[in-house]
């Protein structure tokens, strides 16, 4: 049996620390995370209520209320609360009629969760590059794919999954125009864009189905969770049914199709209700953080920020910038490592999907824009609870990385 450690470290360690005092590393400064959860006060009350009333499973009043409040907030007729954004997108793809073997266009500059549900449905992703105005999908490339398929006598892709990246809406008008002309179903992945606008409406509410994520790093969180929104009541009911193992409305367990276990729990829906109440505060905080970065770093040679497109409000979920190494004197990876050294989390932009080993064999339209954004792009800590002092720490490190001669 091992002797319990009582009253501090074992003798050998105490001896070692006496010898090596000068080499003892200075304690790390508190970690600054990229986008940590930021809870308000009502979340705890709603969760407490779920416990007090014993509604702790995947049905309950918070689920119903969260769906209704979310639908009202984004301006949609129906909202279905689910266990993740990925689950929401899986149901959206399936319920929008995507079948095995179909092609589905999707942004290449995104997280893999935009793409995997297409593969879960047995369909084939076709990646499409971004344009420079919003870093989002380029409608002219979407049109190129449709035109090329038509010219070759092949079916046009069944659907388009348009991602609204880093808190900014894609060019929805341009994309919907192409989709309408070619009979392509428009699906929106608004996982990163809750709180954004496109011509005064919420991206995610334009397509046949739209999805949001409440993952821990998103602008509001339920720890994990997602929402599917739609104007189509039948689609919403079908999503609820598929999300509960496709159980038929009879007393025994009866199934006529394959379902999933995708519902959000009543406890987490309570967290979501509280978070929804502070959504506008969170957007304002993130935009303020972005402005402060721009003031403090905008003068650096070779530094440019993600543009805000003319069609709406960018939430600045993440502050993203580009670092041109020729002008700055260091590349984005050197800056990221310098930040990591100071216990600050920063991330490269999404590595485009067409560059991922797992998807490398799939078609891509364009590619050069997302490749260059990935090569130069960095996401800085942007959580709505980031203090000014923490932000100053980040800026100090970035400024230190500029080559002295610049």
Ligand X SMILES: Cc1ncc(COP(=O)(O)O)c(C=O)c1O
Task: Rank residues 88 and 401 by Cβ distance to ligand X and give the closer one.
Answer: 88
Q: How far is the CB of 42 from ligand X (least distance, A)?
A: 22
Task: Rank residues 213 and 376 by Cβ distance to ligand X and give the closer one.
Answer: 213
Task: Rank residues 84 and 169 by Cβ distance to ligand X and give the closer one.
Answer: 84
Q: How far is the CB of 130 from ligand X (least distance, A)?
A: 13
Q: How far is the CB of 113 from ligand X (least distance, A)?
A: 3
Q: How far is the CB of 210 from ligand X (least distance, A)?
A: 11
Task: Rank residues 170 and 303 by Cβ distance to ligand X and give the closer one.
Answer: 170
| Burial label, 7 (beta-carbon count in 10 A; 0-12, 13-18, 19+) | exposed
Q: How far is the CB of 347 from ligand X (least distance, A)?
A: 12
| Burial label, 201 (beta-carbon count in 10 A; 0-12, 13-18, 19+) | middle
Question: Interface with ligand X by CB under 6 A: which residues?
Answer: 84-86, 110-111, 113-114, 163, 189, 191-192, 213, 215, 226
Q: How far is CA 216 from the centre of its chain?
A: 10
Task: Rank residues 114 and 266 by Cβ distance to ligand X and give the closer one.
Answer: 114
- Pull the structure tokens for residue 99: 């079948």
Q: How far is the CB of 196 from ligand X (least distance, A)?
A: 13
Task: Rank residues 213 and 266 by Cβ distance to ligand X and give the closer one.
Answer: 213
| 144 φ/ψ sector (left φ>0, alpha ψ -120 to 50, else beta) | alpha
Q: How far is the CB of 310 from ligand X (least distance, A)?
A: 22
In contact, 224 and 268? CB cutoff 8 Å: yes
d(CA 4, CA 157): 65
Residue nearest to ligand X (CB): 85
In contact, 170 and 164? CB cutoff 8 Å: yes
d(CA 278, CA 262): 26
For 186, list phi and psi in degrees, rounded to 5: -95, 115
Which strands, in side-by-side order, build the sheet including 303-305? 303-305, 319-323, 377-380, 347-348
Task: Rank residues 278 and 349 by Cβ distance to ligand X and give the closer one.
Answer: 349
Pairing label, strands 78-82, 103-107: unpaired
Task: Rank residues 108 and 391 by Cβ distance to ligand X and give the closer one.
Answer: 108
27 three-class SS: coil
Task: Rank residues 70 and 111 by Cβ distance to ligand X and give the closer one.
Answer: 111
Q: How far apart are the first and last CA of the chain?
A: 63
Pairing label, strands 226-230, 209-213: antiparallel
Task: Rank residues 106 and 185 by Cβ distance to ligand X and give the closer one.
Answer: 106
d(CA 203, CA 189): 9
Q: How far is the CB of 303 from ligand X (least distance, A)?
A: 24
Pairing label, strands 226-230, 303-305: unpaired
Q: How far is the CB of 135 from ligand X (least distance, A)?
A: 12
Q: How far is the CB of 128 from ligand X (least distance, A)?
A: 14
d(CA 218, CA 384): 10
Give DSSP secondary structure letters for 139-176.
Answer: HHHHHHHHHHHHHTTPPPPSEEEEE-GGG----HHHHH
Task: Rank residues 43 and 192 by Cβ distance to ligand X and give the closer one.
Answer: 192
Pairing label, strands 319-323, 209-213: unpaired
Pairing label, strands 319-323, 347-348: unpaired
Q: How far is the CB of 192 from ligand X (least distance, A)?
A: 5
């Amino acid at each position: 049996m091992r002797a319990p450690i009582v009253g501090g470290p074992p003798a050998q360690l105490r001896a070692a620390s006496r010898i090596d005092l000068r080499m003892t590393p200075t304690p790390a400064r508190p970690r600054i995370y990229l986008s940590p959860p930021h809870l308000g006060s009502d979340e705890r009350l709603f969760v407490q209520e779920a416990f007090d009333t014993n509604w702790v499973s995947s049905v309950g009043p918070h689920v119903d209320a969260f769906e209704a409040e979310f639908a009202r907030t984004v301006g949609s007729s129906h909202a279905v609360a689910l266990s993740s954004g990925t689950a929401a997108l899986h149901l959206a793809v399936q319920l929008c009629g995507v079948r095995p073997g179909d092609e589905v266009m999707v942004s290449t500059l995104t997280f893999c969760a935009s793409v995997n549900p297409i593969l879960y449905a047995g369909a084939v992703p076709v990646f499409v590059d971004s344009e420079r105005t919003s870093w989002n999908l380029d409608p002219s490339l979407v049109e190129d794919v449709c035109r090329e398929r038509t010219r070759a006598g092949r079916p046009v892709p069944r659907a388009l999954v348009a991602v609204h990246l880093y808190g900014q809406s894609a060019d929805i008008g341009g994309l919907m125009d192409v989709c309408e002309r070619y009979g392509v179903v428009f699906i929106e992945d608004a996982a990163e864009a809750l709180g954004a606008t496109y011509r005064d409406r919420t991206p995610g509410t334009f397509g046949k189905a739209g999805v949001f994520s409440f993952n821990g790093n998103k602008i509001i969180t339920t720890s994990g969770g997602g929402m599917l929104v739609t104007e189509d009541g039948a689609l919403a009911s079908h999503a609820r049914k598929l999300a509960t193992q496709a159980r038929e409305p009879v007393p025994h367990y009866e199934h006529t199709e394959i379902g999933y276990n995708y519902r959000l729990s009543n406890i987490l829906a309570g967290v979501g209700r509280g978070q929804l109440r502070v959504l506008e505060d969170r957007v304002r905080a993130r935009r303020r953080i972005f402005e402060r970065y721009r003031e403090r770093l905008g003068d650096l040679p070779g530094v440019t920020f993600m543009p805000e497109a003319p069609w709406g409000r960018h939430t600045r979920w993440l502050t993203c910038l580009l670092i041109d190494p020729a002008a700055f004197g260091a590349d984005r990876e050197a800056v990221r490592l310098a930040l990591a050294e100071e216990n600050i989390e920063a991330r490269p932009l999404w590595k485009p999907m067409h560059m991922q080993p797992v998807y490398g064999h799939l078609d891509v339209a364009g590619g050069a824009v997302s490749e260059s954004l990935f090569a130069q792009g960095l996401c800085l800590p942007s959580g709505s609870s980031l203090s000014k002092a923490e932000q100053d720490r980040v800026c100090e490190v970035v400024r230190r990385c500029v080559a002295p001669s610049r």
